[in-house]
Structure 1
């Protein structure tokens, strides 16, 4: 079996120099060469000289130069194809390797993003649980404080009633009956108020004339009965102020069991040189400040509001919002968090004063 060999560029150049300016053979010439080869093979060869074969060989030999031209042209084109194929193969291998590297980096980035997302979701769930537990504890503390305040108020009012009854009894058993004048009624009212102050009860007068302790009891005017009556005090947090801030002048805060933490703070500030107004302003500013001395850097307390990007996990989706409360939409957990970045940037750069 004859092994196929490839003509080198030197061999092609040598053949081209030997055949001169011969043009490539046409397809018809190549077909006729095939017919000549068949005729030489199939005809009956005589015992003497075979002029038929010699004639066909001479015909093909005279026309071999175009065939050789076509051959070296085909070899040169095949060489160009092999070179182009080798370059394309090299580029394909290089591109495939780069694609594999890019795919590996993309997978690593996706895994890192998923881990970060799971960490955020876990932190949000832990934060919600801690917030719920803190709210429950605050509710229990408020309930206990309310029970204690009610007990103290009951003791104060009991002492007030005893003092008032004793004063009336002493007036009734006087040696000489003297009709009560208008001043005596006001003196009785003053004595009752002084008895309340003596036992440490807070006494406040609202703008509408209501006498109250701003916690449990009030003395109000009953228009239907045309008399003053004792009624329960309903604390309305949106308008009510503590009596220490509203009605009691500077230096007159209640003492003893009726003294509150706010009254003690106001008294300390006034003792340090603050006026009543500036002390109330300092206390109000303290109420608006965060209360955690060592805040979590990832979840800082901000009672005054803020504009941080907040991402929370819903039922089966991620919910985005600004810390001030503006909703920024929702997306699926496998999507990019950049979904919220654009709306949040527009909100903080154009809508926030």
Structure 2
């Protein structure tokens, strides 16, 4: 072992103290049957690339940060649909990572067993045992960070599901208002999969009624309070 590495290791031991073998409760890895079941459910997909992960993170930020309208939020629905369609690749990447994590865990257990008893006594006088202990701590830290990341992604997925359900409920409520059972529709056409045409029609209709109201107020101010002289007075107001 080179002198620089010895110096770095000595400094680390001086700062943190001796590095004992890991003891106590270990993180519980995903069971093999769980990994197998997930693999069957997601099918033959490629793991998500770094670019896709970045794109999904951007979509999450857009869903959170954009201005949410009081009506159907198609922007959010499109983004959540986009993310949902690509979740299989994300799960594939997580599954691959979990599988690799299990392999590393098995190697850690084997390595830990090898360093006990007589083997540990043979290595006590060498610097190599310190390097192995540091490596074990680094692997365990990586496993904790990975599990924390998985938990974070699962939390994001659950929150998105709740928001999507709320949006769907709002859309159903609006459909009930626009086309109530046993009554005439409030818009002059059938409602499709999206409510955007109905919302646009209502906006235009409100604008027309506001213009009519302004016109009637102007006509009344001009002294027209019946149909006699209406056309002439209206031409004068509109001109």
- TM-score interval (norm. to shorter): 0.3 to 0.5
Identify, as 1 or 2, the structure richer in strand: 1
Identify, as 1 or 2, the structure richer in helix: 2
Q: TM-score if structure 1 supplies the norm length?
A: 0.26
Larger Rg: 1
Relative contact order (alpha carbons < 8 A, sep ≥ 6): 1 or 2 greater? Answer: 2
Q: TM-score if structure 2 supplies the norm length?
A: 0.38
